[in-house]
């Protein structure tokens, strides 16, 4: 059964559209369970009906015709209760409704299970038997497991099918896909698909420019793989038995097979580039092997996959992924990474769309820093079909439209106009002091990472840098930058803001910030080798960096040094030891380096309870609300599936932050917040109510927060905090804050929030 399950799901996943996906499901289930009928009903939300969309066994003409209002009949009952229903005689059940179109009268046994995705019932999977038959528990769980696995595939097939249809149509059509979260803004531009190398499934379709050259390159790649195989076989000849060596011959034969090579060549002639055409032929081959009954032959599917990957690697070597970007680029990918984003020249990039990730992912943070709308966690994103397509990205509501209609364009223009008006209005605040309505000054700093962040940060009147993420310049390189190279980069930031303070955070790689040249493979990267842990295990990397940072500050003396991911005093002592060592070495070398104020990030929950001990060792604290939220709530900040649960306004997060502020103040240390929360005007009101000393955020958010800050008095913000303190969940806190902003005439800020 497991085998059937796996194969069915694989087949469904590859189906190009929903009707084909559904017909595979009903055929496979009917065969596997030896039943008389298998059908799928899907929910039509608009008409509030369950519709028969595929059947193997009932009258095929009933497909699309049989519609039952929500809650009606046995299918309605399964969907309503979100539970399986197993009956030996359907007609005996009180909810039973007779449907003549499908020849119902001939069937007795009934088993229906709901198809659920993200708490939503998408439809019902039903099997029927002529005889009275109560299905065995094993059969019930089989259908149940299949339905659970199919939900994702159905969502995906719906999207790809819709997009496929859409792409074939000549008229403009509006089609929307939803993500789980975004960064604010609305833009229309052209998709540029990015993908990981040597991953066939991730290769997008792309039109071929020179057919003959493309075919020649493909044949050369096949030749190179064949050559490698022969070399491997020759190397192994003494150490492997003859029958195992024969495997290489079999692979070479497969490689030369008419189907594989000519199939791909045909694909190129039909207009797809070699990588896309290869993806199609390899997928076809894998499918054919996987369907074979003979277990040995079925296993050959993995050989085909391996051959495909080898050819692809060769093709990519001679044809590296395009780094040519044009104006109005919208970066699209299965999992767009921070480094892929940083590679695009900022003048070209206007939007980001990723099938994975959430608004707390680093790529979204970078997008926000650049003022670029992003939609994250678009589960059903048909990445392979989108290259070069026109897309409309609505970061406010985390929606994406392929080939936007005229009406939609007008809606987007309106949003952009409103946004421009708000930004224009906010500009008046640039030179006004950053203080509450009763005159208490609270500095607002900028978060930076890319050198291109500097100008916007200065332009919006940031009073310094509260978080300089030094890993960003590491992410955009293909090797570790040397000490002098780093010094030059850091110097530019320190100089641009001097004499205002610049808080430089030491390298925080790991988690979702992987360096291509320093790969780390872990089961739980966010709980693994990250931030200071890597720096302490690699003192040579850390010392080089600290030396570069200290030298960059010579003569400016506006540096503050911040340590990420500290989880206890041991790590802090070790890191301080290394900082002192670097400083002493530089002094001995005759450099005029100052010992900078030292701070620690409060982002691992353990240190929330160690403020006093940490305060004896450092000068200031900076709360990393992104990670603090992730670790306190046990919600992976990068996982779209749980993005709804990621909320820094959760009462537990608020309590942790307040505790840090209170305790730090008791021992005379200052506290800042530099996570995304600081840039949310609503959340900022609460942080100010708690007495935060400064806030650091992306420059795109700074004037919005300033507007909120200047519109409320300290007393008003403390009252708001008192009121929020009584609320038990994040949604209630958010709605309280939003209504306070609206009441204060700051409704324009609410749309930009969550
Ligand atoms: C944070 O965790 O809140 C933070 C500012 O650091 P980063 O987002 O870079 O992990
Ligand atoms: Mg962090």
508 within ligand 1 shell (Cβ under 6 A): yes
pTM, entire model: 0.80
Which of 372-381, 546-555, 656-665 shows the lowest mean pLDDT across its residues?
372-381
What SS3 class is residue 500? coil
**Going by C-beta distance under 8 Å and a sequence separation of 6 or more, which residues neighbour residue 141?**
none
624 within ligand 1 shell (Cβ under 6 A): yes
Residue among 345, 385, 340, 298 nearest 515 (CA): 340
Higher pLDDT, 169 or 247: 247
Above 80 in pLDDT, residue 149? no
**Main-chain dihedrals φ then ψ at residue 536, nearest 5 degrees:** -70, -30
674 within ligand 1 shell (Cβ under 6 A): yes
Q: What is the pLDDT of residue 567?
A: 98
Residue among 433, 461, 430, 467 nearest 448 (CA): 467
Above 70 in pLDDT, residue 342? yes
Q: What is the pLDDT of residue 714?
A: 97
**Main-chain dihedrals φ then ψ at residue 554, nearest 5 degrees:** -55, 125
Please name the residue whose Cα sits nearest to atom 6 of ligand 1: 624
Q: Which atom of ligand 1 is nearest to the CA of 467?
A: 5
Higher pLDDT, 222 or 478: 222
If residue 722 lies in a helix (H) or strand (E), which one and from where to where?
A: helix 714-725
For 359-482, where are the alpha helices, taking DSSP H only? 362-369, 406-427, 454-459, 471-475
**Going by C-beta distance under 8 Å and a sequence separation of 6 or more, which residues neighbour residue 503?**
445, 464, 465, 466, 467, 468, 560, 561, 562, 599, 622, 672, 674, 696
- Please report the domains of the chain, with CATH numbers, ordered by start residue: 2-168 (3.30.450.40), 175-195+326-421 (3.50.30.10), 200-318 (1.10.274.10), 430-752 (3.20.20.60)
The active-site residue out of 362, 460, 650, 738 is 362
Question: Per-residue confidence at 729, pLDDT binned at 50, 70, 90?
Answer: very high
Cα of 399 vs its chain's centroid, Å: 14
Higher pLDDT, 258 or 41: 41
| Residue 240 CB-density burial (10 A; 0-12 exposed, 13-18 middle, 19+ buried) | middle
**Going by C-beta distance under 8 Å and a sequence separation of 6 or more, which residues neighbour residue 393?**
185, 186, 187, 188, 189, 330, 351, 352, 353, 373, 374, 375, 400
Q: 628 CA distance to ligand 1 centroid (A)?
A: 8
Q: 498 CA distance to ligand 2 centroid (A)?
A: 25
Question: Per-residue confidence at 5, pLDDT binned at 50, 70, 90?
Answer: confident
Give catalytic status of residue 130 as yes or no.
Answer: no
**How far is residue 255's CA from residue 263's CA, in Å, rounded to a whole number?**
12
Q: 711 CA distance to ligand 1 centroid (A)?
A: 28
3-state secondary structure 569-637: HHHHHHHHHHHHHHHHHHHHCCCCCCCCCEEEEECCHHHHCCHHHHHCCCCEEEECHHHHHHHHHCCCC
At 11-64, the pLDDT tens digits run: 777 776 778 888 888 998 999 899 999 999 998 887 899 999 999 999 888 888
Q: Are 732 and 740 in contact (CB under 8 A)?
A: no
The DSSP call for residue 155 is H
Higher pLDDT, 445 or 102: 445
Q: What CA–CA distances, in Å, run from 355 to 96, 363, 753?
A: 41, 12, 21
Which of 173-182, 376-385, 629-638 shows the lowest mean pLDDT across its residues?
173-182
Which ligand neighbours the alpha carbon of 365 most closely?
Answer: 1
For 453-604, where are the alpha helices, taking DSSP H only? 454-459, 471-475, 483-497, 532-537, 539-552, 569-588
| Residue 339 CB-density burial (10 A; 0-12 exposed, 13-18 middle, 19+ buried) | buried
625 within ligand 1 shell (Cβ under 6 A): yes
Q: 741 CA distance to ligand 1 centroid (A)?
A: 26
469 within ligand 1 shell (Cβ under 6 A): yes
Q: Which atom of ligand 1 is nearest to the CA of 447?
A: 5
CA dihedral (581, 520, 370, 745) positive or negative: negative
Q: Which atom of ligand 1 is nearest to the CA of 511?
A: 10
Mean of pLDDT over the chain: 89
Residue among 346, 365, 37 nearest 354 (CA): 365
Above 70 in pLDDT, residue 301? yes
Please name the residue whose Cα sits nearest to atom 4 of ligand 1: 624
**Going by C-beta distance under 8 Å and a sequence separation of 6 or more, which residues neighbour residue 384?**
193, 202, 203, 204, 205, 276, 279
Torsion region of 517: left, alpha or beta (phi above 0 gives left; psi -120 to 50 gives alpha): alpha
Q: What CA–CA distances, in Å, run from 364 to 336, 423, 674?
A: 9, 21, 15
**How far is residue 370's CA from residue 455's CA, in Å, rounded to a whole number?**
11
In the chain the first and final C-alpha atoms are separated, in Å, by 44
Residue among 510, 509, 517 nearest 479 (CA): 517
677 within ligand 1 shell (Cβ under 6 A): no
Most informative mutation of 467, 626, 629, 660 for ligand 1 (most atoms within 8 A of CB): 626
Q: Which atom of ligand 1 is nearest to the CA of 674?
A: 5
**How far is residue 161's CA from residue 17's CA, in Å, rounded to a whole number?**
4
626 within ligand 1 shell (Cβ under 6 A): yes
The DSSP call for residue 93 is S
Q: 619 CA distance to ligand 2 centroid (A)?
A: 19
603 within ligand 1 shell (Cβ under 6 A): yes
Q: What is the pLDDT of residue 754?
A: 43
CA dihedral (534, 538, 543, 549) positive or negative: negative
**How far is residue 364's CA from residue 382's CA, in Å, rounded to a whole number?**
20
The stretch 494-499 carries a mean pLDDT of: 97
> Buried (b) or exposed (e) across 178-215, using 16+ Cβ within 10 A?
bbbbbbbbbbbbbbbbbbeeeebbbbbbbebeeeeebb
Residue in this structure with the two tokens 């054919």, named with its chain if needed? 288
Q: 673 CA distance to ligand 1 centroid (A)?
A: 10
Q: 606 CA distance to ligand 1 centroid (A)?
A: 16
Q: 369 CA distance to ligand 1 centroid (A)?
A: 13
Question: What number of helices (H) and strands (E) belong to the chain?
Answer: 26, 22
Q: Which atom of ligand 1 is nearest to the CA of 625?
A: 3
Please name the residue whose Cα sits nearest to atom 10 of ligand 1: 627
Q: Are 408 and 349 in contact (CB under 8 A)?
A: no
Q: Are 26 and 54 in contact (CB under 8 A)?
A: yes
Above 80 in pLDDT, residue 340? yes
Question: Per-residue confidence at 359, pLDDT binned at 50, 70, 90?
Answer: confident
Q: Which two tokens stand for residue 677?
A: 């929360």
The active-site residue out of 38, 650, 674, 738 is 674
Which ligand neighbours the alpha carbon of 566 most closely?
Answer: 2
Above 90 in pLDDT, residue 749? no
Give catalytic status of residue 38 as yes or no.
Answer: no
217 within ligand 1 shell (Cβ under 6 A): no
Q: What is the pLDDT of residue 753?
A: 43
Q: In this prediction, what percent of the chain has a pLDDT beyond 70? A: 94
């Amino acid at each position: 059964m497991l085998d059937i399950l796996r194969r069915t799901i694989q087949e469904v996943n590859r189906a190009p559209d929903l009707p084909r996906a559904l017909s595979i499901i009903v055929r496979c289930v009917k065969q596997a369970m030896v039943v008389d009928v298998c059908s799928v009903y899907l929910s039509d939300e608009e008409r509030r009906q369950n519709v028969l969309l595929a059947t193997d066994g009932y009258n095929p003409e009933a497909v699309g015709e049989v519609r039952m209002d929500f809650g009606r009949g046995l299918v309605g009952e399964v969907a309503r209760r979100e539970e399986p229903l197993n009956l030996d005689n359907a007609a005996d059940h009180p909810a039973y409704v007779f449907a003549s179109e499908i020849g119902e009268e001939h069937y007795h046994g009934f088993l229906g299970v709901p198809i659920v995705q993200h708490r939503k019932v998408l439809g019902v999977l039903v099997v029927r038997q002529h005889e009275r038959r109560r299905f065995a528990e094993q059969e019930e769980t089989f259908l149940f497991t299949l339905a659970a696995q199919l939900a994702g595939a159905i969502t995906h097939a719906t999207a790809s099918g819709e997009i496929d249809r859409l792409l074939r149509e000549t008229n403009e059509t509006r089609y929307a896909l939803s993500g789980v979260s975004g960064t604010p803004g609305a833009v229309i531009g052209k998709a540029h698909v990015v993908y990981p190398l040597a991953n066939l499934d991730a290769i997008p379709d792309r039109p071929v420019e020179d057919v003959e050259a493309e075919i020649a390159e493909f044949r050369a790649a096949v030749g190179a793989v064949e050559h490698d195989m022969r070399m491997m076989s020759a190397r192994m000849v003494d150490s492997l038995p003859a029958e195992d060596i024969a495997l290489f011959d079999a692979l070479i034969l497969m490689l030369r097979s008419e189907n594989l090579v000519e199939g791909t060549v045909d694909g190129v002639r039909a207009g797809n580039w070699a990588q896309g055409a290869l993806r199609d032929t390899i997928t076809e081959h894998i499918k054919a092997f996987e369907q074979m009954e003979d277990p040995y032959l079925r296993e050959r599917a993995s050989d085909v996959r391996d051959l495909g990957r080898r050819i692809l690697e060769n093709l990519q070597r001679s044809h590296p992924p395009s780094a040519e970007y044009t104006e109005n680029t919208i970066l699209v990918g299965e999992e767009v990474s921070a480094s892929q984003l940083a590679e695009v020249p900022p003048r070209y990039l206007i939007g980001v769309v990723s099938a994975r990730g959430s608004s707390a992912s680093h790529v979204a943070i970078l997008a926000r820093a650049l003022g670029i709308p992003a939609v994250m966690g678009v589960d059903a994103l048909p990445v392979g079909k989108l290259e070069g397509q026109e897309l409309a990205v609505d970061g406010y509501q985390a929606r994406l439209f392929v080939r936007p209609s005229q009406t939609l364009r007008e809606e987007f223009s309106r949003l952009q106009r409103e946004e421009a008006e708000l930004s224009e209005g906010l500009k008046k605040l640039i030179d006004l002091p950053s203080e509450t309505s009763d005159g208490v000054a609270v500095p607002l700093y900028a978060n930076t990472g890319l050198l291109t962040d500097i100008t916007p940060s200065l332009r919006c009147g940031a009073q310094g840098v509260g978080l300089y993420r030094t890993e960003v310049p590491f992410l955009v390189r293909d090797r570790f930058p040397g000490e002098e190279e780093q010094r030059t980069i850091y110097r530019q930031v320190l100089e641009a803001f001097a004499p205002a303070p610049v808080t430089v955070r030491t390298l925080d790689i790991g988690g979702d910030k992987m360096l291509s040249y320093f790969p780390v493979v872990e089961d739980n990267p966010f709980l693994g080798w990250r931030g200071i842990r890597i720096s302490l295990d690699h003192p040579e990397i850390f010392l080089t960096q600290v030396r570069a940072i200290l030298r960059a500050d010579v003569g400016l003396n506006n540096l503050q040094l911040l340590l990420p991911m500290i989880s206890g005093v041991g790590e802090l002592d070790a890191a301080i030891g290394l900082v002192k060592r670097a400083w002493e070495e530089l002094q001995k070398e005759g450099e005029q380096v100052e010992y900078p104020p030292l701070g620690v990030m409060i982002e691992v929950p353990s240190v929330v309870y160690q403020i006093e001990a940490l305060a004896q060792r450092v000068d200031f604290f900076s709360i990393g609300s992104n990670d603090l939220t992730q670790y306190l709530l046990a919600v992976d900040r990068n996982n779209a599936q749980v993005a709804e649960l990621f909320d820094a306004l959760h009462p537990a997060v608020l309590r942790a932050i307040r505790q840090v502020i209170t305790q730090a103040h008791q021992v005379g240390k200052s506290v800042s917040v530099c996570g995304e929360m600081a840039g949310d005007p609503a959340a900022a009101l609460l942080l100010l109510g708690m007495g935060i000393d400064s806030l650091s955020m992306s420059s795109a958010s700074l004037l919005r927060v300033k507007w909120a800050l200047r519109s409320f008095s300290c007393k008003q913000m403390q009252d708001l905090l008192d009121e929020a303190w009584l609320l038990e969940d994040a949604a209630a806190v958010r709605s309280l804050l939003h209504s306070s902003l609206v009441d204060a005439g700051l409704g324009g800020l609410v749309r930009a929030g969550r």
